[in-house]
Amino acid sequence: MITTYSELQSSVASWLHRTDLTALIPDFITLAEARLQGDVVSRSMEVRTTLTCSPGSDVTARYVALPADMLEMKRLTLMTDPAVVLEYKSPDQLVADNSYLLSSAIPTCFAVVAGNIELSPPPDSAYDLELVYYQKIPALSVSNTTNWLLTANPNAYLFGSLLASIPYTQDESRQALWNQKYQEAIETTNSIDWYSGSTMRVRAR
For residue range 173-185, what is the model confidence (pLDDT) as tens digits?
999 999 999 999 9
Instruction: Report pLDDT digits (tens) over 127-140.
Output: 999 999 999 999 99
Domain total of the chain: 2
Q: Is residue 201 part of a domain?
A: no
Q: Which residues, including other chains, have CB under 8 Å from residue 81's CB and lie 6 or more apart? A: none
Tell whether 60 and 112 lie within a shared domain.
yes
Instruction: Report pLDDT digits (tens) over 82-135.
Output: 999 999 999 999 888 766 566 888 999 999 998 999 998 889 999 999 999 999
Instruction: Please report the pLDDT score of residue 194 as a whole number.
Output: 47
Which residue, of 86, 105, 134, is where some domain finishes?
A: 134
Q: Is residue 28 part of a domain?
A: yes
Lowest-pLDDT range, 16-30, 108-122, 135-149, 152-166? 108-122
Tell whether 145 and 94 lie within a shared domain.
no
Q: Is residue 152 part of a domain?
A: yes
Q: Is residue 91 part of a domain?
A: yes
Range of the domain at 158: 5-40+139-195
Tell whether 124 and 151 lie within a shared domain.
no
Name the burial class of residue 169, with classes exposed (0-12), middle (13-18) and buried (19+) by CB atoms within 10 angstroms of its CB: middle
Angle, helices 25-39 vs 154-169, to 10°: value is 120
